[in-house]
Amino acid sequence: MPFTTQEILETIRMVEVEHFDIRTVTLGISLRECATPDAKALSANVYEKVVRIASRLVPVAQEVQDEFGIPIINQRISVTPVALVVEPAVVAAGSSAAAQEILVEVARALDRAAAEVGVNFIGGFSALVDKGCTPADWALIESLPAALASTNRLCASVNAASTRAGLNMDVIARLGTIIQQIARATADRGGSGCARFVVFANMPGDNPFMAGAVHGLGEPEIALNVGISGPGVVLEAIRRLGKNRPLQEVAETIKRTAFKITRAGELVGREVAARLGVPFGILDLSLAPTPEVGDSVAEILEAIGVDVVGAPGTTAALALLNDAVKKGGAMASTSVGGLSGAFIPVTEDAGMVAGVARGALGLEKLEAMTSVCSVGLDMIPLPGDTPAHTLVGILADELSIGVINHKTTAVRVIPVPGKKAGERVDFGGLLGGGPILPVSAFGCNVLAQRGGRIPAPLQSLRN
């Protein structure tokens, strides 16, 4: 259905005044044909295929941006979960140390390919281990500190839980230490290697947003997925509505606004896909904030009616926002996928940072908020001396919310080396910065050491 004149004028206003943009066009590429027992050939195959398939992504996105006048902020790549691709080489390697070296070389090959084609991130250095691990899965997990320390554009993820399988506590227990090691390995960058690593429950295979983008097993050979962003547009719409209107009207306003930004985003995404000659995949209509004032999910919640994000009522306001965004997007497009909702990354959202600084928003309230919104505990700086078993507890708590509620949840926390609660950190760019959040003085050492699996819940029996 073509755009009307009114829609075109509204889109111009959204771009020029309200920070609307296409946050990312992400080209998904299958690497399954690259698998080989020959470690050197494996890295060469991966590099060659990514460069060959993605060589036109950045210039084509720039062409469409210039022609349509809608900013496309990032161009990115996602690939098949790498642990699946390296399995023949890991089996041939014969030792854990040799297997980890192979994984690090593949990570560097992906990083070089991303630099060659000009994208800012490449995702998919990933393992799907919600029920158990192969040697390749373990090798990838153990290689994460070296892989992330020796790359700049590589993003990694581990799916450690699902509603169908429960929580793999063996993996989660190990990841508490791995996160510490990633932070130490990138201490010269404030531990920001952890900003490129996320742990999931129910990870989708078509998510275009980093750090969790992968090209899932049910995906075609190549697909273009689009992540839109429009918290500033939603914020201005609510402010225009005023403070004396009932919540049904607030929800309706958000729904109509989400419809508009989804329509514009799909138009741009399909045009990029057509010019690349690849299938259009999905449109992720998540409200993804930036550190810029006026581009904040937290400010939307405050416009809905809470004094400051984190105050009582915040979770209810977020539930309203997330539901209305999904309803509006689903009406606008039949290709909605990925995560689709409202993101609440702390350091990437100026309003969230302000809420933390004012003492209204803490780790426990953020966890409660994740039960009603997209993703989970995201971009949260923690004290550098946070114990591994405390990190395990944070992971297990958040992933349990996803498992029980049939939703995607995730954890991206950053134990900042040398920093204590209340001190500030600045990661720069879209990663932003903010105060270090305190963690509980109490832990779960016995739980972390038990191992095994937390069984799948009764909700998993849906056949």
10: domain range?
A: 1-452
**pLDDT of amino acid 6:** 56
Which of the 8 DSSP states describes residue 336? B
CA angle 25, 18, 9 (to 5 degrees): 85
Q: Are 71 and 233 in contact (CB under 8 A)?
A: no
Decide if 300 is inside a domain.
yes
| Position 13 pLDDT exceeds 60 | no
CATH number at residue 326: 3.20.70.20
Decide if 459 is inside a domain.
no
Mean pLDDT, to the nearest integer, of 312-318?
A: 96
| Position 8 pLDDT exceeds 80 | no
Dihedral of alpha carbons 329, 330, 335, 340, sign = positive
Crossing angle for the helix pair 169-185 and 388-404, to the nearest 10 degrees: 130
Decide if 419 is inside a domain.
yes
Dist CA 403 CA 122 (whole Å) = 27
Q: Which residues contact 463 (CB under 8 A, 6 or more apart)?
A: none
Dist CA 205 CA 31 (whole Å) = 14
Dist CA 79 CA 50 (whole Å) = 9
| Position 290 pLDDT exceeds 70 | yes
Decide if 17 is inside a domain.
yes
Decide if 166 is inside a domain.
yes
Nearest in space to 270 (alpha carbons), one of 262, 366, 6, 240 = 262
Decide if 460 is inside a domain.
no
Q: What is the pTM of this model?
A: 0.92
Number of domains in the chain: 1
Dist CA 424 CA 433 (whole Å) = 7
CA distances to 239, 240, 258 from 233, rounded to whole Å, are 10, 11, 9
Decide if 239 is inside a domain.
yes
Alpha helices in 277-362 (DSSP H): 297-304, 314-332, 350-357
| Position 43 pLDDT exceeds 90 | yes
